[in-house]
Structure 1
Amino acid sequence: MDLFEDIVNARCSDPFGFLGLHWIDEKDLTLKVWRPDAVAIDVLAIDEDTVLGEMSPHGYNGLFTCQWSDKKEHFHYRLKITYSDGNTATIVDPYQFNEATFSDPKHHKATLYQKEGALFQSAPVSDSLAIDGTRFAVYAPAARSVYVVGDFNGWDGRIHPMSSNGDGVWRLFLPDVRDGAKYKFEIRAKSGEVLPHRTDPFAKRIEQFPSFASVVQESQYEWNDNNWMSRPITDIYEEAVSIYEVHLGSWRRKDHNEPLTYLELKEHLVQYVTEMGYTHVELLPVSEYPFDGSWGYQPVGLFSVTSRYGTPDEFKALIDAFHQAGIGVIMDWVPAHFPSDSHGLANFDGTHQYEYEDPKKGWHPEWNSLIYDFGKEHVVDFLISNANFWLEEYHIDGLRVDAVASMLYLDYSREDGEWIPNVDGGNHNYEAIAFLKKLNETVYLNHPRCFTVAEESTAYPGVSKPTYMDGLGFGFKWNMGWMNDTLEYMKKDPIYRQYHQGELTFSMVYAFNEQFMLPISHDEVVHGKGSMIEKMPGDGWQKFANLRAFNGYMFTHPGKKLNFMGCEFGQGQEWSHTKSLDWHLLDIDYHKGLQTLVKDLNHFYSAEQALQIDHDHQGFEWLSYDDGQNSILAYVRQSKQRDELVMVVVNFTPTPHSGYRIGAPKEGQYELVLNTDDTMYCGSGFPLPKVLKAEHIESHGRNNSVIMEIPPLSTVIYKWKA
């Protein structure tokens, strides 16, 4: 009776060994049912209300048995249960469907989510009838027992013990449990301790605080983005990529400070991004997370889109709308760490199943969170299948991987004695490096139209080099050096910039060492750093002139572009996740002018071939980089064939210049195509010639040169005409 005791005491690991139909002495068929609080149970035919037998209480409140001597084989049945309060319920007993009824769905390691979690399945009971339900599966190899609890069993941790065949995965098919059912797992550790209820690591949907319940999710969405998903595979390194980074909850808010829903964002955000000329939108993490203040960077439900703004299908509708508008969607993805919330992955089955056991490897002192154990096969499969899940199931076009530097280095944010060296005595995390390489290989092999981006702030070599060249295999790397140096330069009063010209030009020394992306991200406008407009020196006009010149410089500097929401119109306050951007500022000319400039820069960048060779020396040439006294830069951007080129001059002081001679890359005429000092952007309107004609006068090492008028605090772009 050991199994009986395990059933009664909610510690059963082999429920099918006791519950359900079993032969006794190969002649009598006995049914055992465990249903606490029941007073009577009738056995009914599976497809009609015929009573096949009345069950008898058996020695303990909740255990019922029934026996047949005339049955030749197992049969399928239903149970009509009467409870002590007089209520009745008719159910299909899950313990008539043992493990032999279901084999694990076909999957490979990159689609582990097709094996674990809550999956809809049908159990055949006759030639003409199948019972639909949900098959639950969870990996908890160190657990003594696992029970599924939910609104379908009154959250009673005694009723539905799961079964494991020794592979560490616990499984149970529950008939008639369908879309919208709420559930968790009740896990008993080897020590006998019943752990706090866990959300499903593979849950497709999770409720918000305080329940954090997993929700069975059956998608009904029909995609309409086939043209986008089947578009020709092109070389993204030779295309315009301008990304609008967005926190969905604070981009725009409604009355009573309520965030827009996915469907409302579909109507408003897609239109705005399209009009502004961005090629991509990047979403701060949308995987479910418990703490609003983490902005999504402390995720618990990696497979669940956050329910803050709607349902999974409504999120798909948002992605679909972006694709139909020709906009790619990137999402921030966080494999570097996860929070220690009791309903999540921490100490999941009573052991460190997902995190490193030693806190010197498994705890992030900077974020007070846990670190995945990249040396465990199941953890690697879990994370890579999650990345693949977003690309497959949600049609995401790119993954920006957060905090890569923290993954690469064992001593990241740690003092001496607080970290464990690798087998060679160094500080590289070989397991994390292998994981990142495998991640990128999997993404690019299975999704050639998608790409990955590393937020990586160190000099680690080859972050965006292919793995066959011993790189990490990312498609792009954020250029944090350019960002830091440029913003430090821009903060300075123009009178002092002449002494820092080298800091501004240094980025071109390494501009092509990686496939760089130029990021002005959310991290630059929070935590006391001030908004972009507040970083700029000078009076009101100079602040905006500085920011306009900076944007012109950024869009003409080699590297793909990323700008956080609000920066495009000069958001005055630091970004806060708790409120909307200050859209009312667009009633002020300076803010509207800046927005118009960014819009024009986006469209110009996308249309101008000369600006799109971002990752090759052929696309850039200096004309003048050493006029520190005037804080002027001049350079050429050109197409690979050099038949399209633009000449860019940036003046980082409020002093205009007349008769300024600059070497010209070619003979011919140069037509003014963009001037950040134009009055349409609220610039000074310093008069400029519409056309410059190159003269055969040597300057800056060139055989030809032009005489320019240079406005104050501006970026001016002239296009060569043969």
Structure 2
Amino acid sequence: MRFRGHVRNLLGHFSRFGEESCAGSLASALHVLNPYSSRGEGHAALGLDELEVVLEHTDAEESMNELWGAFGAMDELVIPALTAVVFVEPLPNQPGYKRNVRSAQFRPQLRERPVVGDGLGLVVADPSCVPFRGHFEYRWKVYSDLRKHITETAGSLTEFASGFRKLGFTKDEETGAITYREWLPPAKSVSLVGDFNNWDEGATPLARDAFGTWEVTLPAKAIAHRTRVKFCATKHDGSTVHRVPAWIRWSCPDLGKFGSTYDGYYWDPSQAGQDDYCFEGFQAARPALPSSLRIYEAHVGMSSTEPKCNSYLEFARDVLPRIKEAGYNCVQLMAIMEHSYYGSFGYHVTSPFAVSSRSGTPDEFKALVEEAHRLGMLVLIDLVHSHVSSNADDGLNGMDFGQPEGESYFMTGERGYHKLWDSRLYCYKNYEVLRYLLSNLRWWLEEC
């Protein structure tokens, strides 16, 4: 999977690069995330440049060098990591799981880029920035100190961005035991509820660690594939709420019930029945980067000629061939992450790790990607990390119990709410928020 950052970056700025040369044109088509904030001291976001895919082929490396050359000294401050991912060539024999057989999904090899330079490349490239040299130096120090802190506490940035292997629902490969973890410091108690325990709030309690992460381990197959799950949390005032897990892989409402809120669904295709669509694993080689990109932007749900929300499988069957025939070699997909409000065009995200259920399942989305690669087209997707839906019952905003910023995904007060978008703003200075967002980027890269 190739990535394209959302037009609004982590902290609401716009980042575009020059349009000189083929590489510059490509860069201008791909928005990247600015690793720094303009919201004041202390609000620095970790740059995403450290998650760099290892380039396996000479052609890819040459293309990479051309791109870096287009940016010049500027790459020391804002490094186009998401653009760099485009140049990854296919690894041979990509593994995938077969029907009802659990095995590892394709995961590109990642390595960390060391911190180099003094962060003043932009000052050198643009004389108008010279008066602000001191502020650039401050921003670089905040970034360097944060990077050092993460390395010291997590072992490496790569390991830090692997939260999906520990948080949310995970499965022991040997025993099949299911472990569920959720970071929720303000909760007085947490239990796991769902179809598997008849929504009994007292049946499956979680234990809390010193950092506010709750955990429970269940026997193998205790939760069936594609069955509803939520957690029940007791707030400081004694009231209880049911919420969708933050790291859930699939989430959708009861389509037969008016006004239904979203439920999380436990996703384990190794348990899939014969009637369930199960992706057979990636077989088509990932296309090499062409000398010139022709990008077709599409919204899967709105791509049907009929008055309905189109599915991933229908898009793969009916739309991708037309895009290919029209001469495009890349498709950029909008609104892939789960969102409750369709009128947001997909940008009021509720569950960042889940594909939009209106168009199908995670396996069906993988089938779309596989078909695009079979047709020789690259795939770009939008990931939204600049804000999140304010719907508390449907997704991540449900984690806000009015706690301090240090225990929350979001900033508090007016700083945590975007009035024009009616959405919540992440607290990017928080360790667990950085883990969540960086892990989200890596998860989409490895999963699809």
TM-score, normalization by structure 1 = 0.36
Aligned to 1:247: 299
Aligned to 2:428: 374
Determine which of 334, 339, 346 is the counterpart of 2:397. Answer: 346
How many residues end up aligned between the 2 structures?
A: 273
Question: How much has 1:260 moved relative to structure 2?
Answer: 2.7
Structure 2 contact 335–345 (Cα < 8 Å) conserved: yes
**Aligned equivalents of 1:269 and 1:279: distance in 2?**
13
Determine which of 231, 251, 258 is the counterpart of 1:206. Answer: 251
For 1:224-303, list aligned pairs within 5 A.
Answer: 224-225=282-283, 227-228=285-286, 231=288, 239-254=291-306, 257-303=307-353
Structure 1 contact 206–213 (Cα < 8 Å) conserved: yes
Determine which of 164, 167, 170 is the counterpart of 1:113. Answer: 164
Amino acid of the residue matched to residue 350 of structure 2?
V
Q: Relative to total residues, which structure has the larger strand share, 1 or 2?
A: 1
Question: How much has 1:226 moved relative to structure 2?
Answer: 5.1
1:149 equivalenced with 2:193 (yes/no): yes
Aligned to 1:318: 368
Amino acid of the residue matched to residue 241 of structure 1?
L
Structure 2 contact 400–410 (Cα < 8 Å) conserved: no
Question: How much has 1:227 moved relative to structure 2?
Answer: 2.1
**Aligned equivalents of 1:392 and 1:108: distance in 2?**
14
Aligned to 1:135: 179
Structure 1 contact 225–323 (Cα < 8 Å) conserved: no
Determine which of 171, 176, 180 is the counterpart of 2:215. Answer: 171
Per-residue deviation, residues 228-253 of structure 1 (Å, max 9, x unmatched): 17x5xx6x7xx311211111111114
Aligned to 2:444: 390
Structure 1 contact 187–349 (Cα < 8 Å) conserved: no
Question: How much has 1:171 moved relative to structure 2?
Answer: 0.9
Question: How much has 1:258 moved relative to structure 2?
Answer: 2.5
RMSD over equivalenced CA pairs, Å:
2.2
Question: How much has 1:347 moved relative to structure 2?
Answer: 5.6
Aligned to 1:29: none
Question: How much has 1:155 moved relative to structure 2?
Answer: 1.3
Structure 1 contact 253–259 (Cα < 8 Å) conserved: no
Aligned residues: percent identity?
29
Aligned to 1:197: 242
Structure 1 contact 188–349 (Cα < 8 Å) conserved: no
Amino acid of the residue matched to residue 348 of structure 1?
M
Q: Which runs of 5+ in 2 are unaligned?
A: 1-153, 255-259, 270-277
What secondary structure sits across from 1:282 in the alignment?
strand
What secondary structure sits across from 1:207 in the alignment?
strand
Amino acid of the residue matched to residue 147 of structure 1?
S
Amino acid of the residue matched to residue 142 of structure 1?
P
For 1:702-717, list aligned pairs within 5 A.
Answer: none
Question: How much has 1:167 moved relative to structure 2?
Answer: 2.6
Question: How much has 1:113 moved relative to structure 2?
Answer: 0.9
**Aligned equivalents of 1:310 and 1:279: distance in 2?**
24
Q: Report 1 or 2 for greater relative contact order, CA contacts < 8 Å, sequence distance ≥ 6.
A: 2
Per-residue deviation, residues 62-83 of structure 1 (Å, max 9, x unmatched): xxxxxxxxxxxxxxxxxxxxxx
Question: How much has 1:307 moved relative to structure 2?
Answer: 1.1
1:253/1:151 CA distance change after superposition, 3 Å: farther
Structure 1 contact 142–190 (Cα < 8 Å) conserved: yes
What secondary structure sits across from 2:286 in the alignment?
helix
Amino acid of the residue matched to residue 208 of structure 1?
P
Q: Which runs of 4+ in 1 moved over 6 A?
A: none
Per-residue deviation, residues 278-328 of structure 1 (Å, max 9, x unmatched): 121111121111111111100011000011111110110000100111111
Determine which of 371, 386, 391 is the counterpart of 1:336. Answer: 386
Structure 1 contact 189–349 (Cα < 8 Å) conserved: no
For 1:461-480, list aligned pairs within 5 A.
Answer: none
1:365 equivalenced with 2:419 (yes/no): yes
Q: Which runs of 5+ in 1 are unaligned?
A: 1-103, 124-129, 395-722
Aligned to 2:232: 186
**Aligned equivalents of 1:347 and 1:356: distance in 2?**
14
Structure 1 contact 299–339 (Cα < 8 Å) conserved: yes
Per-residue deviation, residues 80-134 of structure 1 (Å, max 9, x unmatched): xxxxxxxxxxxxxxxxxxxxxxxx9x982212111111122368xxxxxx5x342
**Aligned equivalents of 1:273 and 1:208: distance in 2?**
32
Amino acid of the residue matched to residue 437 of structure 2?
L
Amino acid of the residue matched to residue 303 of structure 1?
F
**Aligned equivalents of 1:186 and 1:193: distance in 2?**
10
Per-residue deviation, residues 167-213 of structure 1 (Å, max 9, x unmatched): 3211112222131121001111233232x311111100001351411
**Aligned equivalents of 1:121 and 1:224: distance in 2?**
23
Structure 1 contact 224–324 (Cα < 8 Å) conserved: no
Amino acid of the residue matched to residue 192 of structure 1?
G
1:216 equivalenced with 2:266 (yes/no): yes
**Aligned equivalents of 2:422 and 2:285: distance in 1?**
44
Amino acid of the residue matched to residue 172 of structure 1?
V
What secondary structure sits across from 1:227 in the alignment?
coil
Structure 2 contact 349–388 (Cα < 8 Å) conserved: yes
What secondary structure sits across from 1:221 in the alignment?
coil
Structure 1 contact 340–346 (Cα < 8 Å) conserved: yes
Structure 1 contact 118–203 (Cα < 8 Å) conserved: yes
Question: How much has 1:349 moved relative to structure 2?
Answer: 5.3
**Aligned equivalents of 1:192 and 1:297: distance in 2?**
33
What secondary structure sits across from 1:146 in the alignment?
strand
More divergent stretch after superposition (208-217 vs 275-284): 208-217
**Aligned equivalents of 1:203 and 1:347: distance in 2?**
13
**Aligned equivalents of 2:356 and 2:389: distance in 1?**
16
**Aligned equivalents of 1:294 and 1:135: distance in 2?**
34
**Aligned equivalents of 2:392 and 2:416: distance in 1?**
16
Aligned to 1:47: none
What secondary structure sits across from 1:346 in the alignment?
helix
Per-residue deviation, residues 476-523 of structure 1 (Å, max 9, x unmatched): xxxxxxxxxxxxxxxxxxxxxxxxxxxxxxxxxxxxxxxxxxxxxxxx
Aligned to 2:61: none
Structure 2 contact 410–425 (Cα < 8 Å) conserved: yes
What secondary structure sits across from 1:302 in the alignment?
strand
Structure 1 contact 146–187 (Cα < 8 Å) conserved: yes
Per-residue deviation, residues 448-483 of structure 1 (Å, max 9, x unmatched): xxxxxxxxxxxxxxxxxxxxxxxxxxxxxxxxxxxx
